[in-house]
Structure 1
């Protein structure tokens, strides 16, 4: 069974590139352009890893991460916070993200962080 990753990013190019890379590594990838209904989406798709940007329409990624980490049903899912925000590590720590991946995304680092998250 393939491992499932959900990518929350409002940038279509980022979603497409990350999806192609991860699908090439045999992951099932689901993409969303916002995280307004993040818990419902997680209920529908039950990912092994969440990859989430901070600058999303309607709700910041950091707020979405907090919802995930406060949810008894989903708090165990590893979350990779990927953003170009200057204070990414501080935001990630505050929200409860498990990993931080700076943007622009280094594709080799993307693979490395996803493998770490899958094996955590």
Structure 2
């Protein structure tokens, strides 16, 4: 069974691009365009990894990551946090995400992050 990635991204082009990269690596992909129900969305989709945009409607990336990492049933799920924020390095330091990527991100960096957080090659 394929590993699943849940991408929280409100920019259609970035969501589609990220999803295509993940699918080419053999992952199943689900998408959300807002974080109003982030905890329910994650519990419903049961992903093996979450990709979270910072500037996303709803709770926003930073608050959503904090909620997921502080909830026992979702704390184990690795999270890639990405943003085009000019001060993203400092913002990322305050987050509990596992990997941080600045947008626009390099394709190889994104693929490497997926493979490091879900190392099972049989995806």
Range of TM-score over shorter length:
over 0.9
Partners in 2 of 1:110 and 1:102 — Cα distance?
A: 10
Partners in 1 of 2:90 and 2:116 — Cα distance?
A: 20
Alignment of 1:81 with 2:87, yes or no, is no
Query: Runs of 4 or more off by more than 3 Å in structure 1?
Result: none
Q: Which has the higher helix share?
A: 1
Question: What residue in structure 2 maps to residue 112 of structure 1?
Answer: 112
Partners in 2 of 1:64 and 1:107 — Cα distance?
A: 25
Partners in 2 of 1:26 and 1:9 — Cα distance?
A: 20
Number of paired residues? Answer: 120
Question: What residue in structure 1 maps to residue 15 of structure 2?
Answer: 15
Partner SS, residue 94 of structure 2: helix
Q: Deviations over 1:44-88 (max 9, x none)?
A: 111111000100112210010011011000001001001111222
Post-superposition offset of 1:89: 2.9
Partners in 2 of 1:13 and 1:72 — Cα distance?
A: 33
Question: What residue in structure 1 maps to residue 65 of structure 2?
Answer: 65
Q: Deviations over 1:13-55 (max 9, x none)?
A: 0011111111111100001111111110111111111000100
Alignment of 1:43 with 2:43, yes or no, is yes
Partners in 2 of 1:39 and 1:15 — Cα distance?
A: 19
Partner SS, residue 86 of structure 2: coil
Structure 2 unpaired stretches of 5+: none
Partners in 2 of 1:93 and 1:42 — Cα distance?
A: 23
Scaled by the length of structure 1, the TM-score of the pair is: 0.94
Scaled by the length of structure 2, the TM-score of the pair is: 0.91
